Amino acid sequence: MLQYLINGLVLSSFYILIAVGLTLIYGVMKILHIAHGAVYAVGAYVSLETFLLTHDVILSLIVGSCVGCLASLAIQGVVYERLLATGASRVSVVVASIGIYIAMKDAFRLLFGPYTLSYPMLIANLFGKIELFTTIFTVYQASVILSVISVILGLWFFLNKTKEGLALKATAQDAEMSSAVGINVRRVRVVTSLICGLLAGYAGSVVGMYYNTIERSMGDLAINQGLAIIVLGGMGSVLGAVVASLILGMAETVTVALIPQPIPPYLISFPLLILILVLRPTGLLKGRS
């Protein structure tokens, strides 16, 4: 039972890293950030290349996260900001985001080849194992869970105790009124993209190391599950995204344990999404930050 709990928490941690960034982008810009999946994959590829050069896991995670941040800022500044400045509709921006994602997937194929890549060793077992109540799990699993808890606490502090965070929350509630009272909405968008990119790059890095599988289409599953989570949690609610990630991660883990045949994750997430929305159409925590 404890093993299932640990596995579920690890999977939920991955979903939290993916979904929180999507939630922040939607909350501030009202955009379904499909290109988030490409930023996630960038982090995975760059972390692998960094590890092959340095054999340093921590440095690989840092570099992957930073490059994810740069990619997110580039998408926001070059594409989203210009489209929004010209009065383009949100649908047009989403179409542009889909185009960016497709283009970046093809770029991955040209740069890294069409085949699945992997680390020369299983990183998840590199730092040893821990035994707790006859249950064995890796130090890497514990590190992922602890790092995501730190991310959640740090994000809560940023959103509720800092000037930039409060400006972000205000912009998410009403961008026009926030601009009218002196908040630099464009700066808020940049900060949001920075956070989103860091989380996506880090998510791609840790997932690539954990499963030892990196491919150009790995963002597909991230986006499918991420969009399901932000709708399930309540569009724009960071707390809802965290809760929905925990629910979905544990549901997938229990389902895999009970059913021996492999099941695609979306066959769990989307029926669960439909069930929750029938009972609560606005999502679990709509309106809760």
pLDDT, tens only, 102-126: 999 999 999 988 889 999 888 877 7
Q: Identify the three-state secondary structure at position 138.
A: strand
User: Which pTM was predicted?
Assistant: 0.91
pLDDT tens digits, 28-87? 888 888 999 999 999 999 999 999 999 999 999 999 999 999 999 999 989 998 888 888
Q: Rounded to 5 degrees, what are φ and ψ at 222?
A: -60, -45
pLDDT value, residue 258: 75
Collapsing DSSP states into helix, strand and coil, what is residue 244?
Answer: helix
Higher pLDDT, 135 or 191: 191
Identify the band that residue 8 occupies on the pLDDT scale cut at 50, 70 and 90: confident
> What was the pLDDT predicted at 289?
59
User: Across the chain, where does the E strand assignment appear?
Assistant: 129-132, 135-138
SS3 of residue 250 by DSSP: helix
**Alpha-carbon distance 127 to 139, whole Å?**
6
CA-based nearest residue to 104, from 68, 133, 137, 136: 68
Residue 177: what residue type?
M
Predicted local confidence at residue 202, as pLDDT: 95
Exposure string for 178-217, b = 16+ CB within 10 A, e = fewer: beeeebebeebbbbbbebbbbbbbbbbbbbbbbebebbbe
User: What's the rounded mean pLDDT across residues 6-21?
Assistant: 91
Residue ranges of the domains in the chain? Answer: 2-218
Reduce the DSSP state of residue 287 to 3 states and report it: coil
